Amino acid sequence: MRSFILIFISALSCSISAQPRPCESPTLYVGSVSMTAADGIITSAASYSYDAHAQQIRFRNYMTVFNESITMDLLLLFKQGVMYEIDYSRLSCQKKVLESSFHPTRVPADAVFMGQVILGTMSVPGLGLLTNSWVGEIPEIQAQYMLTFTEFTCLPVSAMVFTPQTGWITFSFYNHLLGVQNPQDFVPPFFCPKAAPEEHLPKTNFLKALRPSH
């Protein structure tokens, strides 16, 4: 009987330890993301460079809203508290005060593990991707979310976010490469304003900057 109890406790411990835990993505990587919102009225495809150590993101987005195409190129420097809206076609650049704080890409600590699935197949080595899905809420903005991250390396695969103001927004992440391929992604172009009194700059945050202004 004692042996049976020891075996049961050992098996239970293995089961508990095997359950995935919330994780954080690598500090440096690049990738692409597609987004759909407003029942398909708004769609976008973007590439981005992510540097959690220096708290900076370069975000190049191509968006369609009611069949109108909008492009945006954003450089967000969270430590400096500034954001640049860049337009290479016109050699124009607008500097703004960035009011958002930096949030690393990760599964929130209070997220609830929902399940583990394999994308692709395990029948052939190398053709399956093990992923974990999580659900949770952000009460302060009345948001609900479902996140899927890879089991190994903790890279984002997909996200669904709902708020009463926006409805459901879906994200799909792909083409990730570890490390930053071009360090110049985080350097403002030569035609950007080098210095300007912050009290004279317009203010923005990341979500506000992503909204089409025309």
Per-residue HEC secondary structure of the chain comes to CHHHHHHHHHHHHHHHHHCCCCCECCCEEEEEEEEEEHHHCEEEEEEEEEECCCCEEEEEEEEEECCEEEEEEEEEECCCCEEEEEECCCCEEEEEEECCCCCCCECCCCCEEEEEEEEECCCCCCCEEEEEEEEEEEHHHCEEEEEEEECCCCCEEEEEEEECCCEEEEEEEEEEEECCCCHHHHCCCCCCCCCCCHHHCCEECHHHHHCCCC
Q: Does the residue 107 lie in any domain?
A: yes
Cα 119 to Cα 129: distance, rounded to the nearest angstrom: 5
**Do 173 and 33 form a contact (C-beta atoms < 8 A)?**
yes
Residue 48 lies in a domain: yes
- Taking the CA atoms of residue 132, residue 137, residue 140 and residue 143 in that order, the dihedral angle to the nearest 10 degrees is 90
Please tell me the predicted confidence (pLDDT) of residue 1: 44
In a domain, 17, yes or no: no
Rounded to whole angstroms, what are the CA distances from 71 to 47, 98, 144, 189? 12, 20, 28, 17
For residue 163, what pLDDT is reported? 87
With respect to residue 1, please indicate whether it lies within any of the assigned structural domains: no
In which domain, by residue range, is 181 found? 28-210
Strands 28-37 and 42-51 turn out to be antiparallel
Distance CA 11, CA 106 (A): 29
Asked if residue 11 is part of any domain, the answer here is: no
Domains contained in the chain, number: 1
- Write phi, then psi, for 46 (nearest 5 degrees): -140, 155
CATH of the domain at 161: 2.50.20.30
pLDDT score recorded for residue 16: 40
- Residue 179: inside a domain, yes or no? yes
Q: What string of pLDDT tens digits covers the 214 residues of the chain?
A: 444 333 433 333 343 447 899 999 999 999 999 999 888 888 999 999 999 999 999 999 998 888 888 898 999 999 999 999 999 989 999 999 998 889 899 999 999 999 999 999 989 988 999 999 999 998 887 889 999 999 999 999 999 999 888 889 999 999 999 998 899 999 999 998 876 556 678 888 776 776 655 4
- Is residue 8 situated within a structural domain? no
